[in-house]
């Protein structure tokens, strides 16, 4: 009997000890699970829906698409042939500006008087007046020679000399006839357009044939790209191009500007290792002729390509990253490997897959949130 009672008491102590240890073990296990959960999500970036909306965050679901091969190079925007004209002095003399503004970029209309050239106060006299005097004198000599030759008083040689002098004087006078005004020879605009550049100042002395102004219509422009010889085999496959301007950092697509390929070089210049590729397009925007641009030449298609807009990328010490949306308020920084870039979108070789939701606009704001130790207020995030 005593033996039975002792066994019961021993069992009671054993179970009591087990019950006292269990809460501690469970609590320890729970804490360990919390640590593991926190560790699992320690790289997650918290960005509330309200703040994402205020920052203009745009999310896009990534799907494979057709992309194009790209040759990246440099180039220059030029005025198209026939749209750019240089106005030269038709007479020697002093330049006097008119009422029309001749600052670069000013609009001008065909036939508008831009400036005048006068030699009235110059020692040699006004060339326009001298040309008219010479013409009138030559005309009288020719008319007299014609009568004498008809009456066989002078030889055919003398008659031809008078005729030649008359024609030469007539051409010289005709160049200024009708353009003479109170201020001298009027220089007018040959077309509607804009002042591209002014090559003289008010009061300058100019010679006949000296350039005065450059006028451009700016309706059609040319994109001239310089391509390395190693890409020669790809030139026949070129279809279009994008280009990026330095003054507004904007990427233009020739498709939207009615652009087309005009020609490409079959040989390089002496001492050069580059071939020219020429496109022509409409100037529908504020594109400045003469500016140097970054060019993305486009050729054959590539199928099933993962791409993201250039705006989705951030760069750190030579590595590139995008931000994936995990849920409504959770984001993750993801390193990616880049392929070809057409200026607007870039090929992704690794790092993301179809179906991923990527921040395509506002990536910089998410990056700032990732670098901040402050968690947005009012956030209660559970997993």
Which residues sit opposite 214 in a β-bridge? 86, 197
For the stretch 257-309, pLDDT in tens is: 999 999 988 766 556 788 999 999 988 767 888 899 999 999 988 999 999 99
For the stretch 303-324, pLDDT in tens is: 999 999 999 999 999 999 999 9
State the fold for domain 84-216. OB fold (Dihydrolipoamide Acetyltransferase, E2P) (2.40.50)
Residue 179 is predicted with a pLDDT of 57
Mean pLDDT of 172-195: 75
Q: What's the whole-number average pLDDT of the chain?
A: 81
Going by pLDDT thresholds of 50, 70 and 90, the confidence category of residue 38 is very low
Going by pLDDT thresholds of 50, 70 and 90, the confidence category of residue 174 is confident
For the stretch 196-242, pLDDT in tens is: 889 999 989 998 889 999 888 777 899 999 999 889 888 999 999 99
pTM for the whole structure: 0.60
CA 89 to chain centre: 35
- Decide if pLDDT at 248 tops 70: yes
| CB distance 46 to 370 below 8 Å | no
Residues spanned by CATH 2.40.50.100 within the chain?
A: 84-216
Helix 156-174 and helix 127-150, axial crossing angle in degrees, nearest 10: 150
State the fold for domain 44-64+306-383. 2.40.420
In the chain, the percentage of residues whose pLDDT exceeds 90 is: 37
Mean pLDDT of 177-187: 69
Residues spanned by CATH 2.40.420.20 within the chain?
A: 44-64+306-383
Query: Rounded distance, CA 30 to CA 32, Å?
Result: 5
Going by pLDDT thresholds of 50, 70 and 90, the confidence category of residue 26 is very low
Residue 133 is predicted with a pLDDT of 85
Instruction: Single out the residue of 97, 121, 46 nearest to residue 329, CA to CA.
Output: 46
Which superfamily does CATH assign the domain made up of 69-83+218-301 to? Efflux pump adaptor protein, beta barrel domain (2.40.30.170)
- Decide if pLDDT at 70 tops 90: yes
Could you tell me the two tokens for 294? 């970054």
Name the pairing type of β-strands 330-341 and 45-46: antiparallel
Region of poorest pLDDT, from 191-200, 244-253, 264-273, 320-329: 264-273
């Amino acid at each position: 009997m005593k033996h039975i009672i002792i066994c019961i008491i021993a069992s009671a102590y054993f179970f009591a000890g087990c019950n006292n240890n269990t809460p501690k073990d469970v609590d320890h296990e729970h804490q360990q699970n919390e640590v593991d959960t926190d560790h699992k999500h320690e790289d997650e970036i918290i960005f509330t829906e309200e703040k994402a909306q205020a920052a203009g965050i745009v999310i896009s679901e990534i799907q494979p698409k057709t992309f194009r091969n790209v040759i990246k190079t440099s180039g220059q925007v030029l005025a198209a042939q026939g749209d750019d004209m240089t106005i030269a002095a038709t007479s020697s003399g002093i330049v006097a500006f008119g009422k029309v503004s001749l600052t670069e970029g000013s609009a001008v209309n065909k036939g508008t008087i831009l400036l005048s050239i006068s030699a009235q106060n110059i020692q040699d006299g006004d060339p326009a007046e001298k040309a008219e005097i010479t013409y009138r004198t030559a005309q009288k000599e020719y008319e007299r020679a014609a009568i004498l030759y008809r009456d066989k008083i002078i030889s055919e040689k003398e008659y031809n000399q008078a005729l030649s002098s008359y024609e030469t004087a007539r051409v010289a006078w005709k160049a200024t006839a009708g353009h003479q005004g109170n201020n001298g020879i009027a220089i007018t605009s040959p077309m509607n357009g804009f002042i591209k550049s002014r090559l003289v100042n008010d009061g300058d002395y100019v010679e006949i044939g000296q350039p005065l102004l450059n006028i451009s219509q700016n309706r059609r422009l040319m994109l001239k790209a310089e391509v390395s010889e190693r890409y020669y085999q790809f030139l026949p496959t070129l279809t279009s191009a994008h280009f990026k301007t330095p003054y507004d950092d904007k990427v233009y697509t020739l498709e939207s500007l009615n652009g087309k390929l005009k020609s490409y070089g079959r040989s390089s210049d002496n001492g050069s290792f580059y071939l020219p590729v020429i496109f022509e397009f409409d100037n529908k925007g504020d594109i400045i002729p003469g500016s140097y641009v970054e060019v993305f030449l486009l050729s054959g298609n590539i199928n099933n390509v993962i791409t993201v807009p250039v705006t989705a990328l951030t760069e750190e010490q030579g590595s590139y990253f995008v931000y994936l949306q995990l849920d409504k308020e959770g984001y993750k920084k993801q390193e990616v490997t880049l392929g070809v870039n057409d200026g607007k979108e870039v090929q992704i070789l690794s790092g993301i897959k179809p179906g991923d939701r990527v921040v395509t606009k506002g990536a910089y704001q998410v990056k700032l949130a990732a670098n901040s130790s402050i968690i947005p207020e009012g956030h209660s995030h559970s997993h």
